[in-house]
Chains A and B, each alone.
Chain A
Amino acid sequence: MSEAVMLEAEAGAEAGAEAGVDAPLLRVANLTKMYGRITGCLDVSFDMRSGEVLGIVGESGSGKTTLLNCISGKLAPTSGSIAFDARRHGLTDIYALSEPDRRRMQREDWGFVHQNPRDGLRMRVSGGANVAEPLMNLGQRHYGAMRQATSDWLARVELDLKRVDDKPRNFSGGMQQRIQIARNLIHNPRLVFMDEPTGGLDVSVQARLLDLLRELVRDLGLAAIIVTHDMAVARLMADRLMVMKDGRVVETGLADQVLDDPQHPYTQLLVSSVLQI
């Protein structure tokens, strides 16, 4: 992280909202992850702004999950940088932060919605406690306020408040996913990562959950990165798409443009392979 960039970020913050509009929330530069000789992702660069929803599409093994894990601080890249405009630090290379600082930033500024709710929830504590926990981790100690925020969020994701004390395993897959979403949004993050958020759900549950996610993203002005292999989900959720193949980004652009007028041979193949009903 160069001092010049830090100073620029500070100057931007001082100049107020006007100058901040075009400042990136996230800047990924020349990101590469190798697993020995095997390529995870190769030379990926992009910027994101707040309020923007980026979809990453590609088939299994294309490197989308590797990329998501690198960006979200779970997997150190082999080379390249990921700068994020953290509330506490300004635009900073996340891997240049100390481990505790990076973890705190992840808790404060980010959310991560896993495909399998079991990976994102604590299965031994109640649904309500799962939703409240991020607030507790951030130092909130007022029980009444936490209880209130929790029930607000449970209502927002359309869960029955009478079931606040039930353990996650007693909820259906779709409801578990709603708990996971509430848990990841309650602390008002600036950026949310989603890995196939509707991947394991029945189509009937999927549609309603996608609508909920879209509504939340719009109302909260969230930035989100959504990894999906489902082109329909990409069309509904994403403003912008990145298409990955063999670890590289082969095409990027406005979501409907990439889907309706794909330029790269691989994207054309991907789009033309979608089954119609």
Chain B
Amino acid sequence: MTTPAIRVENLSKLFTLHNQGATVIPVFEALELAVYPGECVVLAGDSGVGKSTLMRTIYGNYLPSGGGVHVLHDGAPVDITRAAAHTVLDIRRRTLGYVSQFLRVIPRISTIDLVIEPLLENGVPADEARARAVALLNALRLPQAHWDLPPSTFSGGEQQRVNIARSFIREYPVLLLDEPTASLDAANRAIVVDLIKAALAKGAAMVGIFHDLDVRDAVATRLFNVTEFKAVA
């Protein structure tokens, strides 16, 4: 058996809100999950059960209360929850992509510059990066008139496609997808589904959250129910 691209081990998470009477909000505990290359594991469970929290913990964005998350990086598993900051950033730069529902970027930077940024960070020459961005933005049917504009005034669906372009321009071996199609129409959803399937066929490992059942059924290789690991208050 190959090494999993992500191995979540005995993971628990609770939030302590110190400024609200030290309220403790337990989320999940003893959570175990392994994701292999070519798999798209879709997180299931009701709203508030901790799907996004799990995703963010896998990304190193949230700090777990216990356990670890081993991400296959340069052929060896690295516990992203305990790695030094520069290691986490290197994992994110080269191995682990994240598509969120929202586009959070520096204001006033043009769309095309935002899309090529992940390539420039990886040392791809600017010309080649631009060519790849143009191809991807065309595939995502983002009008060419938009490319030189910053995306802050775009519609929700347009912003989301910029976000998707930023993540799919690099062929990350591991991808986290948090509702990447939430504000897209049917035609654009289909395009994103194709992008996801193409990445899976190339051996990417993915964890996703999709509330749209059609998209979920189109891309999921299996479901993972977060509710089973719900921590008791």
On whether A268 and B19 interact (CB within 8 A), knowing A236-B106, A239-B89, the answer reads: yes
Nearest-neighbour CB distance to chain B for A213, whole angstroms, equals: 11
On whether A253 and B106 interact (CB within 8 A), knowing A218-B121, A260-B56, A265-B19, the answer reads: no
A246 at the interface (CB under 8 A from B): no
**A261 x B63 contact (CB < 8 A):** yes
Nearest-neighbour CB distance to chain B for A269, whole angstroms, equals: 5
> In residues 213-244 of chain A, which contact B (Cβ within 8 Å)?
214, 218, 236, 239-240
**A52 x B85 contact (CB < 8 A):** yes
B233 at the interface (CB under 8 A from A): no
Render A259-277 as a binary contact track against B, CB cut-off 8 A, 1 for contact: 0110111001100100000
Set of chain A residues within 8 Å of B145, measured between Cβ atoms: none
A145 at the interface (CB under 8 A from B): no
**A49 x B56 contact (CB < 8 A):** no
For the complex, what is the distance from the CA of A34 to the CA of B15, rounded to whole Å? 36
Cβ-Cβ contact count across A and B, 8 Å cutoff:
52
**A263 x B86 contact (CB < 8 A):** no
For the complex, what is the distance from the CA of A185 to the CA of B15, rounded to whole Å? 42
A166 at the interface (CB under 8 A from B): no
**A218 x B106 contact (CB < 8 A):** no
For the complex, what is the distance from the CA of A269 to the CA of B62, rounded to whole Å? 17
A207 at the interface (CB under 8 A from B): yes
Interface size class of A (residues with CB under 8 A): 20 to 34
Render B1-35 as a binary contact track against A, CB cut-off 8 A, 1 for contact: 00000000000000111110000000000000000
Nearest-neighbour CB distance to chain B for A242, whole angstroms, equals: 11
- In the complex, the chain B residue whose C-beta lies closest to that of A54 is B85
On whether A214 and B106 interact (CB within 8 A), knowing A52-B86, A257-B63, the answer reads: yes
A254 at the interface (CB under 8 A from B): yes
On whether A254 and B106 interact (CB within 8 A), knowing A260-B56, A268-B18, the answer reads: no
Instruction: From B62, B85, B106, B120, name the one whose CB has the most chain A CB atoms within 10 angstroms.
Output: B85
**B86 x A239 contact (CB < 8 A):** yes
Nearest-neighbour CB distance to chain A for B215, whole angstroms, equals: 26
For the complex, what is the distance from the CA of A208 to the CA of B109, rounded to whole Å? 8
A109 at the interface (CB under 8 A from B): no
Set of chain B residues within 8 Å of A265, measured between Cβ atoms: 18-19
> In residues 190-209 of chain B, which contact A (Cβ within 8 Å)?
none
**Cβ contact of A211, chosen from B16, B60, B89, B109, cutoff 8 A:** B109
Set of chain A residues within 8 Å of B88, measured between Cβ atoms: 254
B144 at the interface (CB under 8 A from A): no
Interface size class of B (residues with CB under 8 A): 20 to 34
Nearest-neighbour CB distance to chain A for B45, whole angstroms, equals: 20
B107 at the interface (CB under 8 A from A): yes
**A253 x B109 contact (CB < 8 A):** no
**Cβ contact of B61, chosen from A52, A210, A239, A261, cutoff 8 A:** A261
Set of chain B residues within 8 Å of A196, measured between Cβ atoms: none
Render B96-122 as a binary contact track against A, CB cut-off 8 A, 1 for contact: 000000000011110000000000110
Nearest-neighbour CB distance to chain A for B67, whole angstroms, equals: 15
For the complex, what is the distance from the CA of A263 to the CA of B56, rounded to whole Å? 15
For the complex, what is the distance from the CA of A208 to the CA of B56, rounded to whole Å? 29
**A207 x B86 contact (CB < 8 A):** no
Set of chain B residues within 8 Å of A52, measured between Cβ atoms: 85-86
For the complex, what is the distance from the CA of A194 to the CA of B88, rounded to whole Å? 24
**B19 x A272 contact (CB < 8 A):** yes
Set of chain A residues within 8 Å of B19, measured between Cβ atoms: 265, 268-269, 272
For the complex, what is the distance from the CA of A214 to the CA of B61, rounded to whole Å? 21
- In the complex, the chain B residue whose C-beta lies closest to that of A265 is B18
Nearest-neighbour CB distance to chain A for B176, whole angstroms, equals: 14
Set of chain B residues within 8 Å of A260, measured between Cβ atoms: 56, 61-62
Set of chain A residues within 8 Å of B63, measured between Cβ atoms: 253, 257, 261, 263
**B108 x A218 contact (CB < 8 A):** no
**Interface of A toward B, CB cutoff 8 Å:** 49, 51-52, 207-208, 210-211, 214, 218, 236, 239-240, 253-257, 260-261, 263-265, 268-269, 272
10 contacts between A and B (CB under 8 A): A218-B121, A254-B61, A260-B62, A261-B56, A261-B63, A263-B16, A263-B63, A268-B18, A269-B19, A272-B19
**Beyond A49-B86, A254-B60, 20 additional pairs, beta carbon < 8 A:** A52-B86, A207-B107, A211-B106, A218-B120, A218-B121, A236-B106, A239-B86, A253-B63, A256-B61, A257-B60, A257-B62, A257-B63, A260-B56, A260-B62, A261-B61, A264-B18, A268-B17, A268-B18, A269-B19, A272-B19
